Structures are given as structure tokens and as C-alpha cells.
Amino acid sequence: MSVVLSGFADEISADLDEQLAVLAAESVAHLELRSVWGTNVADLSDEQVGRVRRALSAAGVGVSAIGSPIGKIGIGDPLGPELDRLRRIADVAGQLGAGIIRVFSFYIPAGQPPAGYRDEVIDRMAALAEIAAGRGLVLAHENEKGIFGDLPGRCADLIESVNSPALLATFDAANFVQCGVLPHTEAYPLLRRYLLYLQVKDAIMATGEVVPAGEGDGEVAETLAALRDSGFAGYVSLEPHLALAGQFGGFSGAAGFRRAAAALKSLLAALSIPWT
């Protein structure tokens, strides 16, 4: 097993040059594009996308995935604008050579049982997957607090029910911990067959505080070891959230990002997992 390190570089800085400088210092040759210059990837102009493409090419940095906000709307909100937004993000992915787009499965009204919205969620996710399939892209569904696919069983049910090669899973240990789930013990067995992409942050069960990999209850080492033993060879993407965690992003600063990178690299070394 050999993994490819990446990261949400907007956690370093809003400035692309600073993002690339820190990635270079950490020998990380990929980034997950969520925002740059304070602008979400869904809202970048063609001119801005061109600037990103030229800067990444000059730095020798690839795009592991587009960290999109698709699906971070209420289940009752109109779907049409979200489909159009995915088409735009698919255009950006094509320009930047990315084959994976992170997505979510819609916020469920507070206090309402998610099961009551299952069919609507599946229909919406199938529509998103159809667009992705038509562009040769894969959607990586992230388990996020408050959406339909927050718990392992619903994540697996969603992917199984849509039943499209264009919809798979990204696995976020900290998000599971914040939902009261032990990631490796309870989520990994259900989701391994669908696991395309690994987002790395950890959290403490008692408080929900986000911490570097290996410093919380996220069973990150156990998951990495299991992935190693199963032959996983995909992207492992840092999303540290060490200074700020918001609905549409997080921030760690350069020092925080490097602290998170050091923690992940230490785990990989201890597990004899090579990385590039």
C-alpha cells in the first residue's frame, strides 16, 4: 500500500501562493480545492480557475478532489440550482484535472426523523450522480453532522440504493466521532467497500473537539492499518480544522496545518505505510 497525501489548502491561508509554499514545505504534491482567495470553488470565475491552473502547474501540484459544498442545503430547498452548481463544479474539475468531487446528502430539519426523507434524498443523490457519470467524474459522499448520511448505516444505505459507480464514500473519522460513532469499529466495516477517499481529522468523543490524527477517539491508526491490509492506494487528505470549524469550511493556519501533517506522517511511519 502507498497513499497519496493531499489537503484542504485553504486551511493554511486564503492566498494560493501561501498554500503552495506550505504544501511544498511538507512535500505534499496535491491539494483538495475548496476555496481560494476567500471564494468557494463553486463561485470561482473562469479567469480565477485559469489562475489556479497555471499556479498549480508551475508548482507541480495536482488536484486530488474538488471539496465542493454540493448537498449542503436543506432537503426542502429547490434541487435545480444545486444541479446547475454541480455542472459548474464539474467544469472546474475538468479544467483542473480532478476526477473526484466531494458532496453531501442534504440537511434534515432539526428534530425530524431522517428516515422520513430517505426516498427524497436518494432521488436527489441519484440526480447528482447522473450528472457526474455523464462527465466521467465520481462523487465522494462525506459523512457530515446533520445531513441524511451522518451515521454509517445511512451512508451505506444511500450509496447502495443509488447504486451508481459515480457515487462512493469519503470517510471522515472526526465527523463520525462528533455523531457518537466509533469510526473504525462501527463505520469502517459498513463502508470499506465504498471507500474511495480518506479525509483526515480526529476528534474527542466527550467534547467534540477536533484534534490532529491519533490524538482523539477517531481510531485513525486502526483505519489506516485496515486500509493498508486491504490494499488501499488512494488519496489521504488533511482537513485539520484546528483553529476554526464552520459549516462551509475550516481554518488551521500554516502552523496548524503543519502540526496536522506531522501527526499524520507519524502515524503512517509507525504503520509502515509509504506516501507520496
DSSP string of 48-112?
HHHHHHHHHHHHT-EEEEE---TT-SBTTS-SHHHHHHHHHHHHHHHHHT--EEEE---BPPTTS
> If 0-12 CB within 10 Å is exposed, 13-18 middle and 19+ buried, where does residue 110 land?
exposed
Question: Which set of grid coordinates corresponds to residue 137?
Answer: 467524474
pLDDT, one tens digit per residue, over 160-185 is 999 999 999 999 999 999 999 999 99
Round the average pLDDT of the chain to a whole number and report it. Answer: 96
182-201 pLDDT, tens digit per residue, is 999 999 999 999 999 999 99
pLDDT at 241 over 90: no
Asked if the model's pLDDT at residue 89 lies above 70, the reply is yes
User: pTM of the predicted model, to two decimals?
Assistant: 0.96
pLDDT band at 231 (very low <50, low <70, confident <90, very high): very high
Q: Is 13 helix (H, G, I), strand (E, B) or coil?
A: coil
Beta carbons of 262 and 223 less than 8 angstroms apart: no
| pLDDT reading at 247 higher than 80 | no
Share of the chain above pLDDT 70, in %: 97
Bridge-based pairing of strands 202-203 and 210-211 is antiparallel
**Would you say residue 244 has pLDDT above 80?**
no
Within 8 A by CB and 6+ apart from 69, the residues are: 40, 42, 104, 248
Residue written as cell 459515480?
166
Domains of the chain, with CATH numbers? 4-270 (3.20.20.150)
The number of beta carbons lying within 10 Å of the beta carbon of residue 189 is: 12
- The pLDDT score that the predictor gives to residue 246 is 67
> How many Cα atoms are found within 13 Å in the side-chain-facing hemisphere of 55?
17
For helices 253-270 and 16-25, the axis angle rounded to 10 degrees is 30
pLDDT given for residue 2 in this prediction:
84
pLDDT digits (tens, 9 = 90+) for 2-47: 899 999 999 999 999 999 999 999 999 999 999 999 999 999 999 9
Q: Which residues are paired to 202 by β-bridges?
A: 211
Hey, what's the torsion of the CAs at 74, 182, 178, 14, to 10 degrees? -90
